[in-house]
Structure 1
Amino acid sequence: MSVKETRNMLFTFVERCEEQDGRGVETLQREIICDPVMKFFPDINSEVIQYELLKNGLFEPTEWKSIKKILRELEVKNIWDIVKQEYKYLRELWDGPKVSIYIFPIKKESKQRSKDFPRKNGIAYKKVLFLFVSPDLTKEEVKALVAHEYNHVCRLKFIDFPPAAISLNESIIVEGLGEFAVKQLYGKKWLAPWASMYDLEEVSKIWKRHFVHALQIKGIKNHQLFLFGQTNTPFPKWIGYHIGYQIVHTYNKNRGPFVMKELLLKSSDEIIAGSDFAI
């Protein structure tokens, strides 16, 4: 397990698209990009894998004409080497598990959502990590992405539950730990904007009114509204991510300081109880 040579997969994808004059690009993406990772997901098919990766940032199949240029730009930035070095460093620092890491271009922003469209994203599972990146990322931004997502892998190893059995309180703490790892390693400058998006008084009301009674809701798919928020609901944008970070931050302030290796092994209940969001 290591950082995979996804450049070969991507060049093959583009070459096949050229051979077929852009026909069947969705199928080609599934065969070349998604089928090789099915070994990590024995209970689901490649269509589901493709859907999940696209939802989380994988480039759209119709973007195939721009992939070669993006790859050259990513190579100039040494993205694969940066990720390899950071993964090795973090695995030793946190005594983390081995994981396979796949790096792909992130989908292009659309004009309708360009203001909030991410330039980087990732999705973590116990044995595999997917990173979606833009060529204009700085080295520090890439390292922060790796730290946040690999931290998830380490936490998932500790809690050892399938996605359907993970409770909301754990989902919140998973995200909080991931971003707090970025702060510990690189400082506030590289935190995501949602970490400081709201003030404590405002968030405390939302926490007590809408989160506390729902903390045992199980299944990651049932946590999306709480984590991401939604317009015209009691849940503002990125609210669960913000709360998760603030819980971990205030727990460390109140009861710590702790190194991340210690925080990863503490229960969600303990972290919440010692934070400014104690129930």
Structure 2
Amino acid sequence: MSVVQTQKWLYEFVKECKEKSIVDYASVQCETICNPLKKAFPKVHSQAMQQELLNHGLFDPFEWFKIETVVEEMEKQNVWKIIEKEFQSLKKIWNGPNVPIYIFPIKRGLLGFRKDMHRKNGVAYKEAIFLFLSTDLSKEEIKAMLAHEYNHACRLHFINLSPEKTPLKESLIIEGLGEYAVKDLYGEKLLAPWTNLYPFDQALQIWKKHFLPSLSIKGLTNHHAFLYGQKGSPLPKWIGYYIGYQIIDTYQEQHGPFKKNELYQKSADTLIAGSKFPIK
């Protein structure tokens, strides 16, 4: 099975926290949750992996006393089984790679814990997918999230570029393809809010002025402001995500329909050139 039974790790984490009289919860989390990830990331130190996952939504170590309740609820909802079944379906549809999928509670994700809690987040690497979930997600939301992240993994395997060598145009396409896959499989009702955040004409002007001259900038760390926006700059919130999605959506509109795995196998240059975002 590609879906790793991480609930076993989570119960062990709670057990270790309960049994030790003096507890460094961060170290226990690193030992029980991050050390096993060496199988997928043998060259990454466990502490570095822990920080990376915490940045993307992994529960804070001090939340240990809630984690057992969260995992029990997620098991009642058959989260691991739902994701495994949907992954096998997506893998067949897209002829995609067999990557491990790790499921963990999201930071402050216990149902009813707080009104502004984060409900879900995910991150995909060539080596693996991580899903961070709360206890109040519908089955459809879980499936849509998996599709977005697994589509990323498919694209990452196809382009086979290191994070340092990935250009901005590819980051835009990766995000656009992921969210278009959600629309294609499950309909517009499950699309992220950022897909309709701006008037098209406004985004087009930002594209011409700020994105076109920057499409070859390499290194994922250099793409953050373009994707997420930057306070005090001409780049508004989520603008790169919006543009990436619109590139794929307008390309499909003008040249589709395509087989399920065709889009993620097209070059970034082809997808941009065939969209409503001009390259000149």
Greater than 3 Å deviation, 4+ residue runs: none
Q: Give distance in 1, aligned partners of 2:18 and 2:230.
A: 40
The answer as to whether partners of 1:14 and 1:67 remain within 8 angstroms in 2 is yes
1:123/1:105 Cα in 2 relative to 1: closer, same or farther (>3 Å)?
same
Q: Give distance in 2, aligned partners of 1:22 and 1:67.
A: 19
1:197 counterpart = 2:197: yes
Q: Within 5 Å, which residues of 2 pair with 1:253-268? A: 253-268=253-268
* Other-structure match for 1:137: 137
Which AA in structure 2 matches 1:207? Answer: W
Q: Give distance in 1, aligned partners of 2:61 and 2:254.
A: 48
1:95 counterpart = 2:95: yes
Q: Give distance in 2, aligned partners of 1:4 and 1:188.
A: 30
Structure 2 unaligned blocks of 5 or more: none
SS in 1 for 2:223: helix
* Other-structure match for 1:37: 37
* Other-structure match for 1:276: 276
SS in 2 for 1:28: helix
1:42 CA displacement:
2.9
Q: Give distance in 1, aligned partners of 2:266 and 2:115.
A: 38
Q: Give distance in 2, aligned partners of 1:119 and 1:172.
A: 24
1:147-181 Cα offsets, whole Å, 9 max, x none, are: 00000010001101111111100001000000000
Which AA in structure 1 matches 2:169? Answer: N
Q: Give distance in 2, aligned partners of 1:21 and 1:197.
A: 50
1:88 CA displacement:
0.2
The answer as to whether partners of 2:41 and 2:127 remain within 8 angstroms in 1 is no
1:39 CA displacement:
2.8
Q: Give distance in 2, aligned partners of 1:257 and 1:221.
A: 34
1:125 CA displacement:
1.1
Return the TM-score normalized by structure 2: 0.95
1:20 counterpart = 2:20: yes
Q: Percent identity?
A: 52
Q: Give distance in 1, aligned partners of 2:10 and 2:2.
A: 18
More displaced 10-residue stretch of structure 1: 177-186 or 206-215: 206-215
Q: Give distance in 2, aligned partners of 1:250 and 1:64.
A: 45
Q: Give distance in 2, aligned partners of 1:22 and 1:273.
A: 60
Which AA in structure 2 matches 1:276? Answer: K
SS in 2 for 1:260: coil
* Other-structure match for 2:76: 76
The answer as to whether partners of 1:229 and 1:239 remain within 8 angstroms in 2 is yes
Q: Give distance in 1, aligned partners of 2:41 and 2:73.
A: 31
Q: Give distance in 2, aligned partners of 1:27 and 1:209.
A: 47
Q: Give distance in 2, aligned partners of 1:252 and 1:91.
A: 21
1:218 counterpart = 2:226: no
1:127-156 Cα offsets, whole Å, 9 max, x none, are: 211110011000000000100000001000
* Other-structure match for 2:169: 169
1:21 CA displacement:
4.5
The answer as to whether partners of 2:107 and 2:118 remain within 8 angstroms in 1 is no
* Other-structure match for 1:4: 4
* Other-structure match for 1:244: 244
Return the TM-score normalized by structure 1: 0.95
Aligned residues, how many?
A: 276
1:87-117 Cα offsets, whole Å, 9 max, x none, are: 00000000001010110000017xxx965x6
Which AA in structure 1 matches 2:93? Answer: L
More displaced 10-residue stretch of structure 1: 53-62 or 14-23: 14-23
SS in 1 for 2:265: coil
SS in 2 for 1:98: coil
1:203-250 Cα offsets, whole Å, 9 max, x none, are: 111111111111111111111111111222211111111110000000
SS in 1 for 2:176: helix
1:229/1:22 Cα in 2 relative to 1: closer, same or farther (>3 Å)?
farther
Q: Give distance in 1, aligned partners of 2:105 and 2:138.
A: 15
The answer as to whether partners of 2:149 and 2:178 remain within 8 angstroms in 1 is yes
1:23/1:93 Cα in 2 relative to 1: closer, same or farther (>3 Å)?
same
* Other-structure match for 2:106: 106
The answer as to whether partners of 1:98 and 1:127 remain within 8 angstroms in 2 is no
Structure 1 unaligned blocks of 5 or more: none
Which AA in structure 2 matches 1:77? Answer: Q
